[in-house]
């Protein structure tokens, strides 16, 4: 707790006095994706000198074993952003392979924001690969000679690029990192070779986007000269996209997109806060109490703190947006990136956000992702309510956390094991009529099974042609979401 209190105070102190933020983030600990206070506790157990580093506010360099720094570039509040040029950065290359998966969380830029608004943007790295550990260790050690404690996180490589030149990433500031105790290059080299040295734990924050301009060193890891990427000076409200031309979002102006993003993000954050604040069920409480360590319970508590802090950051950001970014281009950029951070958008969406230089197109991407998250959240609530005996078509179902909790408590027997498909699922075949609950807005959609279903383990894949628009979709029919499927209302055919 001492670490979290001092770290929060440090973030607060470096803000200019001209900004007066009143929020619960001042009295809460760092929160991040995912839960950086856990990694902070691990680091303080690893090296007690972290306390000295935390208390040294204006130290010219980081300690060799730890590093806690704000961005070395002053925040230009209310001023138009200017691009950095010819910055030397060590690169941590994390480009998706054939399976599309990235090894680490993708950071987003935060250098355009005051420190108070970045507490929900911290992320943790658990580095098991020796080469990646070397990148961070050397970045921390180099602060003895310079006023920088950063590395470049490369996440995108253009199709026409053979090497790393032209790749896109996000520079990240290393706030806390537990490193080897070795003090010189020779000792660090020997330490890297030890297989039992364990993973390197790092707490970091995204700073600015960049494009690799030149590779100046390749061994043992790439070091590059990079240029910062800024959005185009004039965003195109009618910009071409790869999405369907009939997409309603393509007709919205940037102001309308910002308005809808704020509405959707606020709704999502409130839903997450309500879910985190809901009391634990007897089964959940029993599982957490019987856990071999206190970590699961601590994570459950931290989820509540995270949700509350994200709401606090969101409220401050929306009320201070014009002061933070009076220029329209910078304002659109700030809204898109903040929404991506607070909503915890997936890595593939974050990579697209980093690559895009059209701010309006990025807003459309973010709004689509928010819509997906809201639809999934609504579907989960309705499915849970239906499975708890709500019945009917779902129109009158109460899906607030309290009502769902009451319905769950009314269940006297705990459901154990994998949910099974209903008996009528065996009768589904080509030509059979079914209804599928698409989302809260569309409701129940009537359609016809277009092909004989395919059974895979405990689920079946049903191809349905819907009546309303003639679209064809392959949909999974599983036991845990069986409430989304039903025979047509008033059916007199083969279904019982």
Whether the Cβ atoms of residue 495 and residue 449 lie closer than 8 Å to each other: no
CATH of 2-228, one of 3.30.2320.50, 3.90.1150.10, 2.30.130.40, 1.20.120.550: 2.30.130.40
Q: Which of 4-18, 86-100, 187-201, 228-242 has the lowest mean pLDDT?
A: 4-18
Q: What is the Cα–Cα distance from 27 to 273, expressed in whole angstroms?
A: 18
More confident residue, 47 or 460: 460
3-state secondary structure at position 438:
coil
As to burial, measured by CB atoms within 10 angstroms (0-12 exposed, 13-18 middle, 19+ buried), residue 346 is middle
Q: Is residue 307 scored above 70 in pLDDT? A: yes
More confident residue, 74 or 87: 87
More confident residue, 13 or 365: 365
Query: Could you state, in order of their start, the residue ranges of all structural domains in the chain?
Result: 2-228, 248-385, 423-486
Instruction: Name which of 482, 370, 471 is nearest 437 in CA terms.
Output: 482
Q: Which of 272-276, 293-297, 316-320 has the lowest mean pLDDT?
A: 293-297
Q: Is residue 58 scored above 70 in pLDDT? A: no
Q: What is the Cα–Cα distance from 30 to 32, expressed in whole angstroms?
A: 7
What pLDDT shows up at residue 178?
Answer: 58
DSSP letter assigned to residue 253: -
Q: Look at the domain 423-486 and name its fold.
A: SH3 type barrels. (2.30.30)
Q: What is the Cα–Cα distance from 483 to 495, expressed in whole angstroms?
A: 16
Name the average pLDDT for the chain.
Answer: 71
Give the position of tokens 């929160």. 31
Instruction: Name which of 266, 139, 163 is nearest 212 in CA terms.
Output: 163
Give the position of tokens 């950051």. 313
Whether the Cβ atoms of residue 33 and residue 56 lie closer than 8 Å to each other: no
3-state secondary structure at position 494:
coil
């Amino acid at each position: 707790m001492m670490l979290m209190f001092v770290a929060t105070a440090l973030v607060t102190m470096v803000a200019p006095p001209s900004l007066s933020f009143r929020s619960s983030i001042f009295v809460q600990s760092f929160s991040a994706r995912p839960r950086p206070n856990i990694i902070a506790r691990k680091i303080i157990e690893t090296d007690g000198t972290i306390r000295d580093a935390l208390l040294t506010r204006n130290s010219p360099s980081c300690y060799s074993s730890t590093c806690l720094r704000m961005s070395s570039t002053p925040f230009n509040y209310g001023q138009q952003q200017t691009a950095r040029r010819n910055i030397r950065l060590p690169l941590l290359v994390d480009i998706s392979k054939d399976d599309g998966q990235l090894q680490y969380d993708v950071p987003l830029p935060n250098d355009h924001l005051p420190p108070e608004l970045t507490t929900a943007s911290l992320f943790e790295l658990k580095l098991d690969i020796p080469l990646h550990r070397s990148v961070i260790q050397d970045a921390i050690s180099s602060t003895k000679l310079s006023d920088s404690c950063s590395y470049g996180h490369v996440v995108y490589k253009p199709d026409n690029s053979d090497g790393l030149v032209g790749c896109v990433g996000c520079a990240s500031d290393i706030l806390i990192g537990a490193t080897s105790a070795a003090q010189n290059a020779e000792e660090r080299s020997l330490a890297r070779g030890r297989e039992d040295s364990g993973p390197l734990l790092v707490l970091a924050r995204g700073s600015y986007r960049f494009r690799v301009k030149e590779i100046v060193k390749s061994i043992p890891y790439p070091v590059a000269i990079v240029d910062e990427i800024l959005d185009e000076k004039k965003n195109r409200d009618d910009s071409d996209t790869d999405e369907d031309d009939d997409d309603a979002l393509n007709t919205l102006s940037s102001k309308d997109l910002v308005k809808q993003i704020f509405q959707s993000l606020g709704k999502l954050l409130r839903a997450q806060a309500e879910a985190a604040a809901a009391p634990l069920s007897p089964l959940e409480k029993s599982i957490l109490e019987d856990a071999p360590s206190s970590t699961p319970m601590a994570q459950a508590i931290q989820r509540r703190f995270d949700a509350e802090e994200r709401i606090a950051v969101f409220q401050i950001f929306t009320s201070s947006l014009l002061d933070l970014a009076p220029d329209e281009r910078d304002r659109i950029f700030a809204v898109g990136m903040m929404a991506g951070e607070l909503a915890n958008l997936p890595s593939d969406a974050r990579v697209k956000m980093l690559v895009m230089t059209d701010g309006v197109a990025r807003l459309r991407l973010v709004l689509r992702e928010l819509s997906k998250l809201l639809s999934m959240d609504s579907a989960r609530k309705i499915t849970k309510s239906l499975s708890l005996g709500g019945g009917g078509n779902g129109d009158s179902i109460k899906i607030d956390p309290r009502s769902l909790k009451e319905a769950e408590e009314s269940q006297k027997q705990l459901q154990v094991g994998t949910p099974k498909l209903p008996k009528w699922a065996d009768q589904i075949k080509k030509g059979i009529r079914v209804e599928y609950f698409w989302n809260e807005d569309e409701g129940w959609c009537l359609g016809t099974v277009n092909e004989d279903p395919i059974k895979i383990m405990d689920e079946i894949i049903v191809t349905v042609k819907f009546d309303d628009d003639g679209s064809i979709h392959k949909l999974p029919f599983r036991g845990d979401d069986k409430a989304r499927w039903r025979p047509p209302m008033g059916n007199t055919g083969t279904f019982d």
